[in-house]
Amino acid sequence: MTDTSNAATNLSPTIDLKDLGTVHRLGFGAMRITGPGIWGEPAHRGTAIDVVRRAVELGVDFIDTADSYGPDVSEEILAEALYPYPEGVRIATKVGFTRPGPDRWVALGRPEYLRQQTELSLRKLRVESLDLLQLHRIDSKVDAGEQFATLRDLQQEGKVKALGLSEVTVDQLKEAEKYFTVSTVQNRYNLTDRTSEDVLDYATENGIGFIPWAPISAGELALPGGPVDEAARRLNASASQVALAWLLRRSPVMMPIPGTGSIDHLEDNMGALGISLDDATYAQLESAR
């Protein structure tokens, strides 16, 4: 594991992503601007649009979505809220899942499907080239090389600027690098789930943006008297802000994308940028599981 115990608390707020350029490390996840079960329209579409616009007002310039969020709904709302996109704002999307119903996800990595969904994302987001396209899952029923080659071809055709992966092992990441430059990797990672520690360390060593999904999950650590709760009280912060501040300090390639359908929650999450963890607090959180 990479030793960050003595890391400076003033790590750069930005990261230079391969094939894409510089973005702020604290972004916005657009999964929760859809309906329950990540299915259909949100209860109030106007509120979802307001949340997206407020995120950009607060300085967010990296927004993560997927064709399967809704499906389609998240991408369509982003375009409605932001098009024409403000200069510097990057929209990352993903392909590789089908959605048979609420809370149901089925990997589908056939090359013709990945290509079809990429074309549809271009249309929904109203762009000629996607900023970042990520393979949502490697479909175990399809040769991984075929899936990687399809993404490579889409990039060579100019339909995609940068490419990434989601929920992969280090070995899978290395295999994908034989086909294209991996700009980002998106695995579940938070204070209570560090299963992907080796992937994070590889990303850190190789300058690959690491996007932790479910970033603010703190579980029992945030209960009264727990280390997250204690840190939040000392810092006059929320538990979510502490969890995000820990992630941002954990690695210079860390790119949390907390998602919400509420402006209040959005503003609270963005407040993590003002939280500085001292060495003792960071070490306490690092050792907590």
Q: Are 208 and 177 in contact (CB under 8 A)?
A: no
Catalytic residue chosen out of the listed positions 69, 85, 179, 282:
69
CA neighbor of 11 nearest in space, from 254, 208, 179 = 254
* Cα 70 versus chain centre, distance: 17
Q: CA dihedral defined by 140, 135, 181, 91, rounded to 10 degrees? A: 180
For every residue of 104-166, DSSP letters joined together read EEEE---HHHHHHHHHHHHHHHT-SSEEEEEES---TTS-HHHHHHHHHHHHHTTSEEEEEEE
Residues near 171 by Cβ (< 8 Å), separated by ≥ 6? none
Q: Is 179 a catalytic residue?
A: no
Buried b (16+ CB within 10 A) or exposed e, 186-205: bbebbbbebebeebbebbbe
CA-to-CA distance for 264 and 123, rounded, in angstroms?
31
E-strand ranges in the chain read 14-17, 21-24, 28-29, 62-64, 90-95, 97-101, 104-107, 130-135, 160-166, 182-188, 209-213
Q: Are 216 and 195 in contact (CB under 8 A)?
A: no
Which residues are part of the catalytic machinery?
Answer: 69
